[in-house]
Amino acid sequence: MSRNRIEKSTALWKRRPIECFVASAVALSASLLSGCADKCLDNSAFYEQKVWTQVVSKNCLKCHAPEGVAANKNAKFIQLSQSFPGFLDINLGNISEVARIQFDGKSELLRKPLGEMDHGGGAVLTSDSEEYKLLEQMVDRVSDPVTCDADPSSVVPNLGVMDPVSTLRKASLQLGGRLPTPEEEAAVADGGEQALSAALDSLMTQDSFFTLLKEIYGEVLLTGRYNQYDGQALGLLNDTDYPNKNWWNPTAVPDNMLTADQRNNRKWAGYGVAAEPLELIAYVARNNKPFTEILTADYTVVNWQSAQTYGIDPKTVGLQSSAAYYDFRPAKVQITRSGAKVDLPHSGVITTPAWLNRWPTTTTNVNRARARMTYKFFLATDLLAVAERPIDPSSVTSTNPTRDDQYCTSCHKILDPVASTFVNRNEAALILPDMSEVSSAGSLNQLNQFEPIGTVSMNAHNSVTVRQTSVRQPYTWPGPPLAS
């Protein structure tokens, strides 16, 4: 939709928006304040500034949100609250569709709110109200869209664009942690915007940039907590699946008898496991792979020490030096079952032991915390904010409320399918790669009664997979409510 906005703004014609005359007749000062008198609003600006703020959010949302009574009656008119990313665009798309549905030559959007056609919400508006007039204009605009010329005055007044050389200085400090060299500055002074773009590309290939990237993600994923003391992260791995995890101490000598070499290997093996999510992100960026691979990679990354922890010969993945601690290479980890190696399905960051332990589960949580964090970190959706309403505990009567009760399904029909996709990772991030073990693990998937859907789904190994397309376009989801 935002792309449409740009395309539309290049249109050559401009229609004087009638709503400005209406508004100015009612309240001159308000229209002056909003700059309405001479400002063209295209359909999406009109929806945002008029229809959403004055009509939908105040008069319709309480019933027409995905968890509202209208949605439960399968009404097509569904509007999302502002906690959904991209809600304005999704809402405009939906209201435009509903506006086109007519009965006796009049849009249903104009009949239902008057209480006509047996509206489930009764008469919500009167035909002479300001709100109703805005709805009428919205309906007109759907069949005859208003587009506007690009409006330079919409740029915030007094806000200038910095010249390329000053931009380079700021960007070098931010991305590179240093000032630009005189040569870099001279190149950008000569070459302008184009040279700036090249200089930025080059900044983003330097080590300092990948350090910054790891810092940024470290502050979000919080997996660095497993680096508090040497070898800490090795404790996240169980001995059954990773019999090699103490490779640096084959004779199991007590701590105080470890050689300096052994201590060093323990330290960097632990670092490799703790830093795995962040190093994977850095690897994807450094090798200029599609960034979605942080969630879709069917491999992980290891250093010389952590390779051996996972039972991989470092040489086979191109690692030669035991002292190149920060040299991480792609590798596929296998686990040991009944003495045999079996493939461990990978799905980028969210299947690393560090991430799974940092965002753990319990037998009652059933992977919901992991699902919540997957939405929060990677799908721009804060599930705790999608439904804001008081919950009256006595209203919950069903025996399986997260599946059946409207007070719970508003969130849980979004949350639980994704939680289900983590079904083969248990409390301690142990991997349960075949489903017989999943069912013997008791309640692990008992509560997750929804089919895995949409963005995150199971792969052939019944392991969590995030579909690449959906992660690239998080804003197209959740969209209209899911069928329950």
Q: How far is the CB of 63 from ligand HEC (least distance, A)?
A: 3
Choices 184-192, 215-223, 271-279, 382-390; region in contact with ligand HEC by CB under 6 A: 382-390
Q: How far is the CB of 354 from ligand HEC (least distance, A)?
A: 18
Out of 50, 112, 267, 461, name the contact with ligand HEC by CB under 6 A. 112
429 is a contact residue toward ligand HEC (CB under 6 A): no
Q: How far is the CB of 333 from ligand HEC (least distance, A)?
A: 27
Q: How far is the CB of 261 from ligand HEC (least distance, A)?
A: 42
Out of 223, 296, 410, 465, name the contact with ligand HEC by CB under 6 A. 410
Burial of 306 (0-12, 13-18, 19+ CB in 10 A): buried
Rounded CA-CA distance 404/348 in Å is: 33
Out of 36, 199, 411, 444, name the contact with ligand HEC by CB under 6 A. 411
Rounded CA-CA distance 82/93 in Å is: 15
Nearer to ligand HEC, 67 or 241 (CB): 67
Choices 4-12, 105-113, 149-157, 301-309; region in contact with ligand HEC by CB under 6 A: 105-113
Choices 109-117, 144-152, 173-181, 466-474; region in contact with ligand HEC by CB under 6 A: 109-117
Using CB under 6 A as the binding rule, the residues of this chain from 280 to 339 that contact ligand HEC are none
Q: How far is the CB of 58 from ligand HEC (least distance, A)?
A: 8
222 is a contact residue toward ligand HEC (CB under 6 A): no
**Other Cβ atoms closer than 10 A to 75:** 17
Nearer to ligand HEC, 30 or 117 (CB): 117
98 is a contact residue toward ligand HEC (CB under 6 A): yes
Whether residue 237 contacts residue 243, with contact meaning beta carbons closer than 8 Å, is answered with: no
Q: Give me the half-sphere count of Cα atoms (radius 13 Å) on the Cβ side of residue 253.
A: 8
Taking alpha carbons only, the member of 414, 420, 409, 412 closest to residue 462 is 420
Written as six digits, the tokens of 377 are 């970190």
Taking alpha carbons only, the member of 406, 479, 415, 407 closest to residue 449 is 415
Choices 27-35, 244-252, 403-411, 438-446; region in contact with ligand HEC by CB under 6 A: 403-411
Nearer to ligand HEC, 114 or 275 (CB): 114
Q: How far is the CB of 462 from ligand HEC (least distance, A)?
A: 22
- Interaction pattern, residues 328-367, with ligand HEC; x per rule: CB under 6 A: ----------------------------------x-xx--
Burial of 238 (0-12, 13-18, 19+ CB in 10 A): middle
Binding-site residue total for ligand HEC (CB under 6 A)?
44
423 is a contact residue toward ligand HEC (CB under 6 A): no
Rounded CA-CA distance 86/478 in Å is: 10
Nearer to ligand HEC, 2 or 395 (CB): 395
Out of 17, 66, 86, 113, name the contact with ligand HEC by CB under 6 A. 113
Using CB under 6 A as the binding rule, the residues of this chain from 117 to 176 that contact ligand HEC are 118-121, 124-125
Using CB under 6 A as the binding rule, the residues of this chain from 21 to 80 that contact ligand HEC are 55, 59-60, 62-64, 69-70, 73, 75-77
Whether residue 298 contacts residue 332, with contact meaning beta carbons closer than 8 Å, is answered with: yes
Choices 33-41, 106-114, 196-204, 251-259; region in contact with ligand HEC by CB under 6 A: 106-114
Q: How far is the CB of 274 from ligand HEC (least distance, A)?
A: 22
Sign of torsion, CA 384 388 393 396? negative
Q: How far is the CB of 472 from ligand HEC (least distance, A)?
A: 24
420 is a contact residue toward ligand HEC (CB under 6 A): no
| Distance, first Cα to last Cα, the chain | 28
Choices 17-25, 184-192, 242-250, 380-388; region in contact with ligand HEC by CB under 6 A: 380-388
Q: How far is the CB of 425 from ligand HEC (least distance, A)?
A: 15
Out of 150, 216, 384, 435, name the contact with ligand HEC by CB under 6 A. 384
Q: How far is the CB of 33 from ligand HEC (least distance, A)?
A: 25
User: Given the rule CB under 6 A, which residues bind ligand HEC?
Assistant: 55, 59-60, 62-64, 69-70, 73, 75-77, 98, 108-109, 112-113, 118-121, 124-125, 362, 364-365, 368-369, 372, 383-384, 386-387, 391, 396, 401-402, 405, 407-408, 410-412, 415
